[in-house]
């Protein structure tokens, strides 16, 4: 069985967005299997009908997405950021893209997303908003490690860390963490790739609608998954409060 995974942690704004995204998914694929990872305090009984599976004992963490991804109940999963909207029936065909790969990403478009140089030979290219992956043991081990290593990455002294050879501006980015892990010998056997042609129709960033010359190559793309950004003030206003000093207190 294949299915779609949403993670809505830390802020109720993400929960509301995930519900709206799931509704749009059901509009275009009524039979979709959908799992939501969120906090019980966010759940509204009226929203339960949009999901087949709801898991609420999740970390209060800004990157609980990796924790949830590793606990998918599906053989093949599509992780979607909460701030997405499904706009095409082609969403049901996404699992065919995985093929023999274990995990696949859409590609960052530099002028509409944060992109930085990792080192002289590599740039940050993996977009973390739409991720297609299987449930094989090694893939799940990778995603679990992604969650653990990201926490270490954000707290470390960069100059004395395993990441010291890379640009210190990588420190906040979980996309760097997964890139780093996929370079390690332990995960070399994991087959990873980008969606065909960068997958921009599967992760259509809202800024591509701006009348910019650089957007010309994307203006006729079908928007299978539309990806917007929730304003920071709405996210912050909905944050869970945690005790002072808690490692989950990101306010």
Q: What is the CATH number of the domain that holds 121?
A: 3.90.550.10
* Alpha-carbon gap, residue 113 to 115, rounded angstroms: 6
SS3 content of the chain, % helix, strand, coil (to 5): 40, 20, 40
Q: Considering the domain boundaries, does residue 78 fall inside one?
A: yes
Its domain, for residue 19, covers 2-237
- Stretch (H or E) spanning 142: helix 137-155
Question: Cα 33 to the chain's mean position, in Å?
Answer: 18
Long-range contacts at 177-183 (CB < 8 A, ≥ 24 apart): 177/146, 177/149, 177/150, 177/153, 178/126, 178/128, 178/142, 178/146, 179/118, 179/122, 179/124, 179/125, 179/126, 180/149, 181/142, 181/145, 181/146, 181/149, 182/142
Residue 228 lies in a domain: yes
pTM value? Answer: 0.93
Q: Has residue 29 been placed in a domain?
A: yes
What is the per-residue pLDDT across 52-88, written as a single tens digit (0 to 9) for each?
999 999 988 888 999 999 999 999 999 999 999 999 9
Return d(Cα 11, Cα 42) in angstroms, integer: 9
In a domain, 77, yes or no: yes
pLDDT at position 243, please?
43
Whether pLDDT at 246 is above 80: no
Q: Is residue 245 situated within a structural domain? A: no
Q: In this structure, what is the dihedral angle of CA atoms 43, 24, 196, 227, given to the nearest 10 degrees? A: -70
CA distances from 43 to 57, 136, 229 (A): 12, 30, 22
Higher pLDDT, 38 or 246: 38
Does residue 131 come out as left (phi exceeding 0), alpha (psi in the -120 to 50 range) or beta? beta
**Mean pLDDT to the nearest integer, 37-49:** 96
**What is the torsion angle, in degrees rounded to the nearest 10, for the CA atoms of residue 164, residue 162, residue 191 and residue 78?**
-90
Return the bridge partners of 35, or none.
Answer: 5, 53
Is residue 243 domain-resident? no
The DSSP secondary-structure symbol of 195 reads: P
Other CB atoms closer than 10 Å to residue 98's CB: what's the count? 20
pLDDT tens string 145-196: 999 999 999 999 999 999 999 999 999 999 999 999 999 999 999 999 999 9
248 domain-assigned = no
**CA–CA gap between residue 173 and residue 71 (Å, rounded):** 22
Q: Which of 151, 127, 111 is nearest to 202 (CA)?
A: 127
Tell whether the model's pLDDT for residue 115 goes beyond 80.
no
Number of folded domains that form the chain = 1
Residue 116 predicted with pLDDT over 90: no
Q: Is residue 66 part of a domain?
A: yes
Instruction: Supply the DSSP symbol for 11.
Output: B
């Amino acid at each position: 069985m294949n299915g779609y995974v949403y993670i809505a942690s830390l802020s109720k704004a993400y929960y509301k967005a995930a519900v709206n995204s799931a509704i749009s998914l059901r509009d275009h694929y009524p039979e979709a299997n959908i799992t939501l990872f969120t906090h019980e305090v966010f759940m509204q009984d009226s929203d339960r009908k949009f999901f087949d599976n709801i898991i609420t004992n999740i970390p209060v963490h800004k990157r609980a997405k990796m924790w949830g991804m590793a606990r998918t109940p599906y053989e093949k999963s599509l992780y979607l950021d909460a701030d997405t909207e499904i706009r095409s029936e082609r969403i049901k065909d996404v699992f065919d893209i995985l093929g023999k790969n274990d995990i696949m990403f859409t590609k960052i478009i530099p002028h509409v997303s944060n992109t930085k140089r990792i080192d002289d030979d590599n740039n940050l290219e993996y977009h973390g908003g739409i991720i297609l992956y299987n449930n094989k043991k090694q893939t799940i081990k990778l995603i679990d490690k992604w969650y653990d290593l990201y926490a270490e990455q954000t707290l470390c002294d960069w100059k004395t860390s395993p990441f010291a050879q890379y640009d210190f501006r990588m420190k906040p980015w979980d996309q760097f963490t997964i890139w780093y892990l996929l370079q390690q010998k332990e995960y070399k056997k994991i087959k990873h790739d980008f969606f065909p042609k960068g997958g921009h129709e599967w992760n259509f960033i809202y800024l591509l609608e701006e009348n910019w010359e650089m957007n010309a190559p994307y203006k006729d793309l079908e928007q299978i998954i539309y990806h917007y950004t929730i304003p920071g003030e709405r996210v912050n206003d909905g944050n869970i409060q945690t005790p002072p000093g808690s490692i989950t207190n990101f306010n």
